[in-house]
Homo-oligomer: A and B are copies of this chain.
């Protein structure tokens, strides 16, 4: 039923190259203060160093203070936050502070979380993974067993399919953290699920696999066998270290490019069967009613999406002139090919620069230089991936799916810059 826009339908956008030279030509007026010119920050009138700060006059903290390093106390506002719709202490989500993040990698402390019955404290020595159902050799694995298998590491995004669900009806998020913070990108390490399934020996009738978590919700989803054998991973490490409890410690399923919910955390059981199990999370939840009375179900692939993270709601531009528009883009279909940025609500577009490396189903950072004239502006970004898919507008999504869907809202986001520099979430 998809009526995706294709890249061929999208006119060429002007490329942002050359803007850096313009930025440099305007140089000194833009940032910093020329010494002796009375600019803010200049502390001395000649070529001597700034005053020696207090922290140079005493020895700093000992090395042993933080054997596991922590952020500066001056960064304590950079935390995961919810959107205020938690129904129980353990059921809800905490979003990643995209407005404070740089680059493509999400640090482990700030990876988003979506849990259904809280975060279990699992002893890895007690944890087991059972593989059974339509297999020749049912197996139970310890964590030590799983870690001994051949391993792979992959940098991929992970996005909750509910990310942005509140944005369809009205501009909801007061910041990009609240509107779009259910996406993160990490380096995941584990064993390919195909390796484990080949050990167990899948019966030819086995076309689906139930994945069950060891949380109090027993969160369960059905995964098509094709995906299990293609690129699914049993993941135990994230950005180098073992998984965080909120991300499924000690073991999670990871399905690159698919909705986060099906990458079942605290994974304890895989049962092979001929049909999907029609669990709660793929029937009453994670499906969408369509205008024609049918429901979109097993909508597992995450379509291309992007969002500007600076300037974004919750930011305030304090000076006219140069600002670097920056954001992130990702697609479950493969690599991001191009991101266009508009500062006039989509009337004209310029092509943003993509930060290398641009990886398969990973977040890519895009950037575009912008001269803000001090007037009103509406900023938008539009992602295209290597399959040719183009991120849709809100109107295009509504035309296809109506107003009653909640998952997989990947509409183009609009941020309005007011003449005072304040940035707000709008529909435009």
Query: B-contacting residues of A (Cβ < 8 Å)?
Result: 20, 23-24, 27-28, 30-36, 39-43, 47, 49-50, 53, 55-76, 78-82, 86, 88-90, 92-94, 100-111, 113, 115, 117-124, 126-128, 130-133, 137-142, 145-146, 148-153, 155, 186-189, 195, 198-199, 212, 214-216, 218, 236-246, 249-250, 266, 268-269, 322-324, 326, 355, 357, 359, 365, 367, 369
Contacts and interface: CB of A to CB of B under 8 A. Distances in A.
A404 to B, nearest CB: 27
Contacts of A198: 24, 27
A205 to B, nearest CB: 15
A250 B68 CA distance: 19
Pick the 6 closest A-B CB pairs, nearest first. Answer: A60-B118, A62-B89, A103-B153, A55-B120, A67-B79, A102-B189
Given A41-B140, A69-B109, 13 more contacts: A23-B150, A32-B140, A40-B142, A49-B132, A50-B140, A53-B214, A56-B216, A59-B118, A60-B117, A62-B119, A69-B244, A74-B123, A151-B326
Contacts of A75: 241-242
User: Number of copies of this chain in the oligomer?
Assistant: 2
Q: Which of A67, A76, A102, A199 has the most CB of B within 10 A?
A: A102
B139 A20 contact: no
A260 B81 CA distance: 35
Contacts of A241: 71, 75, 78, 100-102, 107, 109-110
A341 to B, nearest CB: 14
A35 B39 CA distance: 74
Given A32-B140, A34-B139, A150 B367 contact: yes
A257 to B, nearest CB: 17
Given A31-B199, A41-B128, A101-B241, A69 B141 contact: no
A246 B69 contact: yes
Contacts of A102: 151, 153, 189, 236-237, 240-241
Contacts of A113: 63, 69
Nearest to A369: B150
A92 B120 contact: no
Contact of A89 (B59, B110, B266): B59
B50 A268 contact: yes
Contact of A66 (B20, B76, B246): B246
A328 to B, nearest CB: 10
B30 A240 contact: no
Nearest to A62: B89
Nearest to A111: B69
Given A117-B59, A241-B75, A80 B67 contact: yes
Contact of A55 (B110, B122, B150, B324): B122
Nearest to A235: B102
Contacts of A123: 74
Contacts of A74: 122-124, 249-250
Given A28-B199, A237-B103, A245-B72, A215 B56 contact: yes
Contacts of A214: 53, 55-56
B109 A244 contact: no
Contact of A118 (B31, B61, B105): B61
Contact of A30 (B82, B121, B148, B246): B148
A70 B111 CA distance: 11
Nearest to A112: B69
A77 to B, nearest CB: 10
A147 to B, nearest CB: 9
